[in-house]
Amino acid sequence: MFDIACIGILVADVISKPVDSITERGKLRFVDSIKLYNGGCAMSAAIDLAILGSKTAIIGKIGSDGFGGYLKSILEKHAVNTGGLVVSEGTDTSASVVLVDSGGERTFLHCKGANDEFTDIDVDFNIISDSRIVFVAGTMLMNKFDGEPCARVLKKAKEMGRITALDTAWDDSGRWMKVLEPALPYVDYFLPSVEEARELSGETQPSKMADKFFDCGVKHVVIKLGSEGCYCRPEREHQGIFLPTFETKAVDTTGAGDSFCAGFLHGIAIGKSIEEACVIGNAVGSHCVRSVGATTGIKPYSEIERFIRINT
């Protein structure tokens, strides 16, 4: 039995620095480093959860290329079950080339690849059946899965008696609630960032944002507030509570939202209340931003628990 199954996007990130300008066509320029990292909401959350101690599976799509093989190997290294990964012949694994200048500013070149082809027919419901919690990570970035296909998966998960959770990503196309609304009646824990929640709800105050989401059928709302922590609303009748994050020096915010979700869901999986799970999410997010990379700063839950105890 898995504690959590993560459904969503996987990305290979090739990071090159420093790149302060693009050289002339056909010319060569040296840089200090070119490194390959794992990324993508579902992959980052799955690895974070595994490090924390949750038994985790991942469901998604990769290509039959070097990037796909690399991502699968990293997941297996962290003991994440990859039986739900569909390997697509003739489709590129989703990847980004990240150009970092001397000041730390990042420019991205992104290939949607297999993530853009993933849909509900790719979901292995045997894994859903064997999981206590089903987490969709990367909504708005999966063209063929977002909307009704996602709703069908979550509806079936609820019919199987599973706990469901969903996180969103920024939607450059501006579809927002038109895409998300069909899935919300089947979401137990909704975990958007405050920027995404603002666009989805049309509201500026977290309490009013939460009201909109409750109207759509969500059972519990947690809105991520970045360096300010999170807003937790266990149910409509609850007034809501702001939970500040832990003081830390941020080195790299890549994966911070995914790590919060992982900490939160690990808390739910081990029987913590929603408020306690939010504190765990804040602590895991604080660890994430201390290191370069989406998952490199995450620690086992015993260390996270000790960190919380010392700092509260």
| 231 Cβ contact partners less than 8 Å away, ≥ 6 residues apart | 194, 206, 207, 210, 221, 222, 223, 225, 240, 241, 242, 243
Strand blocks (E) in 103-257: 106-111, 131-139, 163-168, 189-190, 220-224, 230-233, 241-243
Those residues with Cβ within 8 angstroms of residue 142's Cβ, 6 or more apart along the chain or in another chain? 8, 9, 115, 116, 118, 119, 150
- Report how many domains make up the chain: 1
Of 286, 272, 202, 190, nearest to 231 (Cα)?
190
**Residue 242 token pair:** 């702001």
Does residue 150 sit within a domain? yes
Residue 23 covered by a domain:
no
Within a domain: residue 26?
no
Q: What is the pLDDT of residue 295?
A: 87
Asked if the structure places residue 157 within a domain, the reply is yes
Name the residue range of residue 113's domain: 2-18+33-310
Q: What is the pTM of this model?
A: 0.94
In a domain, 25, yes or no: no
Whether residue 92 lies inside any domain: the answer is yes
CA dist., res. 111 & res. 141, Å (int) = 12
- Average pLDDT per run of 10 along the chain, which is 312 residues long? 97 91 90 92 97 98 97 97 95 91 82 95 98 96 96 98 96 93 98 97 97 98 96 96 90 86 98 98 93 85 97 89
pLDDT computed for residue 103 by the predictor: 81
Residue 121 lies in a domain: yes
| Alpha-carbon gap, residue 82 to 94, rounded angstroms | 17
Distance CA 14, CA 39 (A): 10
Q: What is the CATH number of the domain that holds 115?
A: 3.40.1190.20
User: Is 209 within the bounds of a domain?
Assistant: yes
